[in-house]
Chains A and B, each alone.
Chain A
């Protein structure tokens, strides 16, 4: 079954509305909580009057910093806002929570709370504070230098030296962050969308000063996450606190507006990118210097320079980061962290240099293809960039592209083609799994159990496929149980490690159970029997085993990545500047494709995220007040259906068992990497305008 385009096994639940997300659990006697937030960006609460709220009909409790329990702020919850002090670090920080009998009552009462603040100067204007940025204390964000970049630039005949700006963006999964908390004595059950099931468990336990085994996370279906449900945020803890306070189950969902300053964001990046090349198109220097912001209370920097480290063969290179703490919520990993934004700068600059050199941008890239990882000197486990570019170009009809911009017009529209590459590391993480076999006559069923997660990635389905093959059972005999911290611990669905970690663990478990059944039989076989056959031949009615899978020990000796090439055709309205993507094609080399149907969905999903990044998505802060002016789906434009044209996917066959036994590289992130640049490059090809500040809204093309 592995490699087959199987429809999702959870599809029936999802199309009938019966798949249960965090707030879909009907738990008796549930009370409803609503959070309220700070109206200033920095300072402290002098006084908070909850009297009217407490007296409002149906209200059970109002919790603020004045009566919140003491929590462990270093327990692993991201972004603070745990009601532990009157201090305000960013606009929209949680300052309290109302619990009431009904949602309507809680929402109303939350509006009755009156707060008196002492404001201090808030740092919210990046333009103003950019100069205060300093080097990070994180080791992997130290300056990475190879050769002599400055000398190479001085001597270069052809160079690009530009600033590329990307705005703050928000994940905004369709399911807002939401939790139902249920206490039974000291035991706490949290129904809560969690990309890293065990991570949510340990962070919640540590923050609430509980033993991890007393906290259970249940999250079989997650309504999207894109990084924002990787780490957990204060709303999870406040739900548990509220439930404890009223001694009842409590449901708390962030409002869409609250999502903008509750669960992280993709930070604004100002990327200074310099490239130098000889006149025949050989790169001589690459400098990628990123300046960004972080929270006043913690640091996260997305690695914008990562693609620049590995994409091209260049002898002199500099990758650096500078960061300034500001009164803005903590940034966090967001789909294709660093690579999606970093590739916008790198791959736009590559296009600019190719145009300067009058070389086709594909040819320019092929000329600079590295034989090994230039940053580490390690050999590639596999790298299919050349095939991605060539196969993609063929399928896309790249030969029709003209080098000179503004040379393709159809009526009121200017048409342009763009290309850009991307990459994302391939890794496997420790994951345990149990496989249980039961037999009833000749009918054998398997249950696969691990604390993995499925946020739309297709985990349920690929694990059923993997187990079916490894056990010798049809897929309809495989039950997949994930999304529960009571199951064996697993990696998270983050950083594209999910499929590799989960599938390899399941495969290992199935092989192990087969080995054990063989050993149990005491027989020797010429042909290795399947577990299913052994259950029957040995007349076993129940059997189970567990495996603790780890990545291959020598994986580190290689540089393992997925690679892609993205092709976009845009049309630009020559009067209004509105851009549409007519066609988009991604050619991807991402190891073994476990299920091309769900893999295609992952790739086009990444592509659509890239289209949003390129054309529509921008979170804007009021530079004086620190509030998000874009505070709803009406202001923050995630792409709509009409924004998306035809999307095609080509998979490059890759047999690479170095990163892990099954040869799975992961595709959740690589799909977005390079997309924004491909579109910006297509816009240049259409209009002759080089847009270096995303998103490319109509005003920028007038």
Chain B
């Protein structure tokens, strides 16, 4: 860990100006990923601005939906009555991630910005375009079991590791950001995280110094039929091989509205739009769920070590939709 200056921000605009002024300055919130990366020498900030004392921790009803503050803890978000009642998908996704201790520390804003767990990114002895642009992608010709099957580039095959964001993608949340000129801007969730393309060092479309203030959840009718399914290599406390956020709105047996997002398969939470398109207006049957899954996964481009993710994705999508139909019970 490089030496750095630590300051506590008492005012959002000050925090934004401070970080904006120095390219190697960063915000510190829960720190669960940033400190981890600093100890690995992957992140090397010279200044940390602690934003946890800023007044962005509220979770409240807003515009028919719910606004969740950027510095609210994951635990509080998952357990807030407004979220449990209206967005159980988000509750399940958060609770599927990390551990109780980490969820007590991690903030919602920080969670969105967590970085890939690609082993080549983490190991500074290895080449990685995301960590050090121009050094190559170690995973492309290396062990890429945990890597992307959608949307990767020759520059980077890493996946976004989180769970919460997969649910937020399905819920079509928006991200509110304070910019350095003092204005506020809103980013649609689909535009928040990026595909790697030629610039894998950029995980998302936040500009340096911009601070997330809240995540807005629009009103929806998915609460009765949603489910977050996470497939992993141990029962708990592990990143996803594949995860699925599934949400359905049905009338009789007909699917009026459906949202599907996948985790563990791409550089960003992957909206399964092909599958959604197929399902809309169809009967909510296992056969249709399987056809939809098939349709989505046939566009996948697996790597040498992760071919299994295509079949696993198919099965996980169909199962998550079935579980959603069953009321999302564990």
Contact = CB atoms under 8 A, between A and B. Distances in A.
Interface of A: 37, 39, 57, 104, 107-108, 111, 257, 412, 575-578, 580, 615-616, 620-625, 627, 629-632, 634-635, 637, 639-643, 695, 697-699, 702
A627 B122 CA distance: 12
Interface string B85-105: 000000000000000000000
Contact of B41 (A111, A632, A634, A637): A111
B145 interface: yes
Contacts of B316: 575-576
A107 B231 CA distance: 36
A629 B119 contact: yes
B319 A576 contact: yes
B111 to A, nearest CB: 16
Given A108-B3, A702-B308, A620 B233 contact: no
A630 B119 contact: yes
B142 interface: yes
Nearest to A615: B234
Contacts of A632: 122
B287 interface: no
Contact of B233 (A575, A616, A624): A616
Contacts of A639: 234
Contact of A641 (B122, B138, B236, B241): B236
A643 B233 CA distance: 10
A576 B237 CA distance: 17
Contact of A699 (B119, B122, B237, B312): B312
Given A627-B123, A631-B122, A637-B234, 5 more contacts: A577-B312, A630-B119, A640-B236, A640-B237, A698-B232
A365 B309 CA distance: 39
Q: Which of A576, A624, A639, A642: most chain B Cβ within 10 A?
A: A576
B114 to A, nearest CB: 12
A623 B143 CA distance: 8
A102 to B, nearest CB: 11
- Per CB-CB distance, the 4 closest pairs between chain A and chain B, nearest first, are A699-B308, A39-B125, A575-B319, A642-B235
A702 B41 CA distance: 38
Contact of A637 (B117, B123, B142, B238): B238
B1 interface: yes
17 contacts: A104-B1, A108-B2, A412-B319, A576-B315, A576-B316, A577-B231, A620-B143, A622-B138, A624-B141, A627-B125, A629-B119, A629-B142, A632-B122, A642-B235, A643-B234, A698-B233, A702-B315
B164 to A, nearest CB: 17
B8 interface: no
A318 B237 CA distance: 43
Q: Which of B3, B119, B308: most chain A Cβ within 10 A?
A: B119
Contact of A702 (B117, B122, B312): B312
B318 A575 contact: yes
A247 B81 CA distance: 60
Nearest to B306: A699
Contact of B126 (A57, A108, A625): A625
B296 to A, nearest CB: 16
Nearest to A638: B234
Contact of B235 (A631, A635, A643): A643
Contacts, number: 95
Given A634-B117, A637-B233, A698-B233, A625 B41 contact: no
Nearest to A612: B234
B323 to A, nearest CB: 9
B239 interface: yes
B233 A631 contact: no
Contacts of B3: 57, 108
B149 to A, nearest CB: 13
A327 to B, nearest CB: 15
A631 B319 contact: no
Q: Which of A37, A622, A623: most chain B Cβ within 10 A?
A: A622
Contacts of A702: 308, 311-312, 315
B318 A624 contact: no
A699 B311 CA distance: 9
Contacts of B145: 620
Contacts of B238: 634, 637, 640
B53 interface: no
Interface in B128-183: 138, 141-143, 145
Interface string B1-42: 111000000000000000000000000000000000001110
Given A575-B316, A577-B312, A697 B235 contact: no
Contacts of A412: 319
B229 interface: yes
Nearest to A641: B236
Interface in B274-330: 308-309, 311-312, 315-316, 318-319
Nearest to B310: A702
B289 to A, nearest CB: 11
B236 A642 contact: yes
A580 B124 CA distance: 35
A630 B117 CA distance: 11
Nearest to A623: B143
Contacts of A697: 233
Contacts of A642: 234-237
B39 A107 contact: yes
A576 B2 CA distance: 42
Contact of A576 (B1, B39, B124, B312): B312
Contacts of B311: 702
A575 B235 CA distance: 15
Nearest to B241: A698
Contacts of B309: 699
A599 to B, nearest CB: 27
Contacts of B138: 622, 625
B121 to A, nearest CB: 11
Contacts of A107: 1, 39
A634 B239 contact: yes
B329 to A, nearest CB: 11
B248 to A, nearest CB: 17
A321 to B, nearest CB: 28
A643 B122 CA distance: 26
Nearest to A92: B125
A623 B239 CA distance: 23
Contacts of A625: 126, 138, 142
A107 B145 CA distance: 31
Contacts of B315: 575-577, 702
Contact of B241 (A108, A620, A623, A699): A699
Given A622-B143, A629-B143, A108 B236 contact: no
A640 B99 CA distance: 11
A570 to B, nearest CB: 12
Contact of B231 (A257, A627, A698): A698
A131 B282 CA distance: 56
